[in-house]
Amino acid sequence: MTAIPPSRELPIEAPIVVLSDLHLGHPASFIKDPAEVIPLLGPAKTAIFNGDTFEQLNLERCERARQMMLRLLDLCHARGVRPFMLTGNHDPRASSLHYLDLFDGRVFLTHGDGLHDAVAPWSREAPAVLEERRRLLRNEAYPPDIDHQLFLTKQTELIAALYDHKTPSGFIGQSSMVAKFAIKPWRIIYALSYWSRVVHYSREFTHRYRPSTKLFLIGHTHRAGVWMSRDMTVVNTGSFQPLSRPLIVHMNEQKAVIHRTKYQNGAYHLAEGLHHVDLA
């Protein structure tokens, strides 16, 4: 495999806000205008979009999705917030950032698509993704570091057909997304199985690559939640799509606060605080 250069130190200024899975341009996304999420940024100086920010792989929709993503970045800059885009499985080439280490390694962020070799075991593309992974590894052992692991993940994601381009947007698209699970119950079984083990996968991943992590932030599965253990807290920030409710994380070097969200007056706003994590 091609050698991957080490990650750079990035000028990330606190306070920081983290959100994920906006899925701009997806027919089932609740977001029709990126301005709807801007109130969630609050007093942040830095916004980290932790993957699946926009639909990059569908040729029928990628240009509109890209324009929505650019508008999101412009809105951030106009507010004085510096945006960082991490890649997800729907936007694997959104940037060169597949993960971030913050506050001397106490906080670790990645989209979550690298936690499982099949990326999304419940998807119809999972067998093809696994086959492509085997082809790229060519009998090599498990990737030796996180850069190789996530580089391999992004390469396998490029073969995926993410959704039917004929699906209309809005309510029909959102209903179609739910229906595709209902008529293929095996996908529900795989998704529930993955959900039940996501903390296990998270612990395996961080123990292998980032054992000093105190707060691990992911998205990907759309199952929003907070899971606490003795040495680490795992937060999944959910998604802006059906069957999920997004969470937002605001943090500085001292603490992280996980908030619920509410949709009111045409935009998303912070709701009550769900959990606090002491980072000091």
Among 242, 246, 122, smallest CA distance to 193 is for 122
Are 140 and 148 within 8 A, CB to CB?
Answer: no
What does the pLDDT look like over 130-179, one tens digit per residue? Answer: 999 999 998 777 888 999 999 999 999 988 754 445 666 666 556 565 55
Average pLDDT over residues 242-270: 96
Full set of structural domains in the chain with CATH: 16-278 (3.60.21.10)
Average pLDDT over residues 77-106: 95
Among 103, 43, 41, 105, smallest CA distance to 254 is for 103
Residue 204: other Cβ atoms inside 10 A = 13
Average pLDDT, the chain: 89
What does the pLDDT look like over 66-89, one tens digit per residue? Answer: 999 999 999 999 999 999 999 999
Question: Global pTM?
Answer: 0.89
Q: Burial level of 239, CB count in 10 A (0-12/13-18/19+)?
A: buried
Among 154, 143, 85, 91, smallest CA distance to 119 is for 154
User: Distance (Å, rounded) from C-alpha 164 to C-alpha 87?
Assistant: 22
* Residue 48, token pair as written in the block: 């980290």
What does the pLDDT look like over 186-228, one tens digit per residue? Answer: 677 878 888 899 999 999 999 999 999 999 999 999 999 999 9
